[in-house]
Amino acid sequence: MERSRLTGLSKRMSLALRHDPGKFGLTLDEAGWVAVPAFLTALRLDRDVFDTIVETSDKQRFAVVVGPDGVERVRANQGHSVPVELGLEPATAPGVLFHGTSAAVLPSIRAEGLIKGKRHHVHLSPDRETAQRVGARRRGAVAILEIDAPAMEKDGHTFYRSANNVWLVDAVPPKYLRES
């Protein structure tokens, strides 16, 4: 299957699992999980295509587990705008984290910092290369921001790390940001 088709289907899966499950007739449980058979039916996905997307997603956006009832379930690892409780434990962040974005939004970020908007958390990358890839999805020139995670932790901010190594925090005030 063409890579562009897989990308489109991955985005559709993200929409269903992160932002609008009702559009597909799905109901996520409190932790964001939905049964794989119901998910495949709702999105009209072939199991092989689903497996390919889950296994080859460059960002490992999706998790699949077998529930206590023996039914496979799928969820997005983070990035939800619908209410879910991912059960993430606080984690000690590395010395510096990164955020890739569009250079066009830097004036707003300088004034307000990084805010989560409709999502549960601000997403941060563990390395500059990942932040560059994330920022490249935006329109225009890419800006990479460095986040002083130890200073934030010292000041009481809590970090979490998702299953696919995305660092999450409620907000990043401007004083912890440095353009690089």
Per DSSP, the three-state class of 120 is coil
| Domain extent listing, the chain | 3-76, 96-179
pLDDT value of position 1: 66
**Please, which residues have CB within 8 angstroms of residue 115's CB and are 6 or more apart in sequence?**
122, 171
Q: Which residues make beta-bridge pairs with 179?
A: 145
Closest by CA to 37, choosing from 78, 67, 6, is: 67
How far is residue 142's CA from residue 171's CA, in Å, rounded to a whole number?
A: 20
Q: Which residues pair with 74 in a beta bridge?
A: 34, 64
- The yes/no answer on whether domain 3-76 falls in CATH 1.10.10.970 is yes
pLDDT at 86: 84
Mean pLDDT by 10 residues, the chain (180 residues): 83 94 96 96 96 84 91 90 88 93 94 89 93 83 96 96 90 95
Its CATH architecture, for the domain 96-179, is: Alpha-Beta Barrel (3.20)
Please state, in angstroms and rounded to a whole number, the distance separating the CA atoms of residues 180 and 177: 9
Q: Are 100 and 133 in contact (CB under 8 A)?
A: yes
The Cα–Cα gap between 121 and 129 comes to: 21
